[in-house]
Each structure stands twice: as C-alpha cells, then as structure tokens.
C-alpha cells in the first residue's frame, strides 16, 4: 500500500472513531454500566486499525536505511502515532477511554500537517542502542504529557460545568472529578519521570559528542524550563496540596514549553532552511 493511501486511511479511521465517541457522549443514556459502551468499544477497535496504518506510514518516512529521520513531519507523525497507541493501551487500565474525542482530532491534525509540510530529511548518524533508547524515552515522555494536557482540559471543563450546576451529557460521561484529578497527577508524574530520564541521557550524549553536558540552544533551554515547571507542579502537589484548575494551568504551561522546545524550533529552522 502506498504512503499516501496509508495516511488517508489512518485519517479516515480516526475520524470515524471520533464520531462514534462523540455520538456516545451525546447519548441520553449514560449510566455507569455504559463505561464499556458498544460505540466506544467500536471506536477503539477502529482506532487500533488506524494506528496500524499510521504506524506503517510512520515506519516508511521515519526510518530510512535503518536510521531515524529527524525531519519535522517525520517526528510529528511518529509522536502522534505513539500518543494514540499509549492512549489506547491506557484505556484498558485507566478511565480515559472517552479522551479519544480530543486525542483522535489531535492525531488527525498532526497527519494533515505532515501531508502539507514540505519536510526536510535529517538522518541521525548515531544508531547505537543507547541513543535509540534515549529517543524512545523522549517520545514516550512527550506522549504522556500530551495525554495529561488533554485530560487536564477535560478536567477544567468538568469543574466549570459542576460550578455552574449544569448537567450536559458529556459531563455525565466523565469519571468523578476526584478520579480525574488523580489521573492527571499520575500521568504528569510518569511523564515527568521519563522527561527527567530524557534530559539526563541527552546530557550524557551531549557530553560524549560536544565535550560538555548541555548545549544552550533554544530547544534545550525550553525543555529545561518545561522540566522546572513540572517539577514545581509536583512539589506544590506534595508540599501544599495543589489541585484543581491551578494544577491544569501548570500542566499546560509545561507542555507548551516542551512542545515549543522541539516542534516550535523545528518549524522555524526548517522554514529558514527553505528560504
């Protein structure tokens, strides 16, 4: 199957999954026994098929001659595919199945962006096992913190609706507010641990290649600032019991810094390279 067919197939399957979860959320019958609704289950099965097509496309453009392509659209396709896969796997263990209504559109936007972005191929010359592990850990950290941010946005929506004493069907479809808050900190905690490993392993490789642990470039500074934001968030949670929408603001701020650190820098550098 051609690359263009794979990416269009993935977009179509993710779109169908989004529609099915949206239909479930609009349903008037949202009691607790519907946590494993047939519509949601069907959406996840279809999304898994989308991940297969997505993964095949990502493999074709991200791995060239057994080396990783660090081009912007290549990395975006790879990260969005991993994000969706982690979400689907997490849905088996945590009450995040309905987050697909936001996760899938994000993935669709990533694939559409990759279709239209004039990518430059940037092949890594380092193919060691340790370096590949560093890349995988960094992608896992980014994906988990993305899911945490999506979950945080839903938490804010849920909290505001409760304060206004409204009862939209989507509100009834979400887990209790306390469960949503606990889930947010679990995702942030795991993502932060992986982000820490990413920065430590990155410093080791930088020391080996350049002779010093940190190269003070835009993406490094923004990644470190993002790490500080998440570290402060978790410290405030443990020390002062930070919770609610304030925790979400910290989460979104840290996520945006990390996103700007890699993808923002990539967009600027590749745009300037074309000019």
- Among residues 89, 117, 145, which one ends one of the domains? 117
Question: Would you report the helix, strand and coil content of the chain in percent, each value rounded to 5?
Answer: 80, 0, 15
Number of domains present in the structure of the chain: 2
Claim to verify: residue 215 and residue 264 sit in the same structural domain: yes
Claim to verify: residue 147 and residue 82 sit in the same structural domain: no
The pLDDT tens digits for 110-139 are 999 888 876 566 666 666 667 777 788 888
What's the pLDDT score for residue 253? 95
Helix (H) / strand (E) element for 243: namely: none
Q: Packing angle between helix 72-90 and helix 38-62, nearest 10 degrees?
A: 150
Q: Which of 66-80, 131-145, 183-197 has the highest mean pLDDT?
A: 183-197
Contacts of 193 (CB under 8 A, 6+ apart): none
Name the pTM for this structure.
0.76
Claim to verify: residue 164 and residue 40 sit in the same structural domain: no
- Among residues 87, 117, 147, which one ends one of the domains? 117
Claim to verify: residue 47 and residue 100 sit in the same structural domain: yes
Claim to verify: residue 110 and residue 161 sit in the same structural domain: no
d(CA 73, CA 6): 15
DSSP string, 22-75: HHHHH-S---GGGGG-HHHHHHHHHHHHHHHHHHHHHHHHHEETTEEB--HHHH
**What is the rounded average pLDDT for all residues in the chain?**
80
What's the pLDDT score for residue 71? 75
Q: Which domain holds residue 211?
A: 126-275
The pLDDT tens digits for 47-70 are 999 999 999 999 888 777 667 777
Model confidence at 201, pLDDT cuts 50, 70, 90, reads confident
């Amino acid at each position: 199957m051609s690359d263009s067919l794979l990416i269009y197939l993935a977009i179509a399957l993710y779109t169908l999954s989004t529609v099915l979860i949206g239909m479930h959320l609009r349903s008037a019958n949202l009691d607790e026994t519907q946590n494993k609704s047939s519509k949601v289950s069907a959406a996840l099965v279809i999304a898994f098929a989308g991940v297969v097509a997505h993964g095949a496309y990502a493999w074709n453009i991200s791995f060239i001659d057994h080396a990783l392509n660090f081009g912007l659209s290549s990395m975006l396709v790879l990260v969005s595919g991993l994000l969706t896969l982690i979400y689907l796997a997490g849905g088996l263990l945590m009450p995040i199945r309905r987050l697909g209504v936001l996760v899938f559109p994000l993935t669709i936007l990533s694939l559409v962006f990759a279709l239209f972005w004039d990518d430059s191929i940037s092949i890594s010359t380092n193919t060691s096992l340790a370096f590949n592990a560093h890349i995988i850990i960094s992608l896992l950290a980014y994906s988990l913190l993305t899911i945490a941010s999506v979950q945080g946005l839903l938490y804010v929506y849920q909290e505001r609706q409760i304060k206004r004493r409204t009862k939209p069907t989507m509100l009834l479809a979400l887990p209790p507010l306390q469960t949503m808050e606990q889930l947010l900190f679990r995702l942030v905690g795991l993502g932060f641990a992986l982000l820490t490993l990413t920065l430590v392993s990155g410093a080791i490789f930088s020391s080996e290649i350049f002779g010093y642990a940190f190269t003070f470039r835009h993406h490094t500074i923004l990644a470190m600032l993002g790490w500080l934001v998440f570290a402060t968030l978790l410290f405030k949670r443990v020390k002062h019991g930070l919770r609610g929408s304030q925790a979400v603001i910290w989460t979104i701020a840290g996520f945006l810094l990390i996103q700007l650190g890699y993808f923002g820098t990539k967009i600027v550098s590749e745009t300037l390279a074309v000019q």
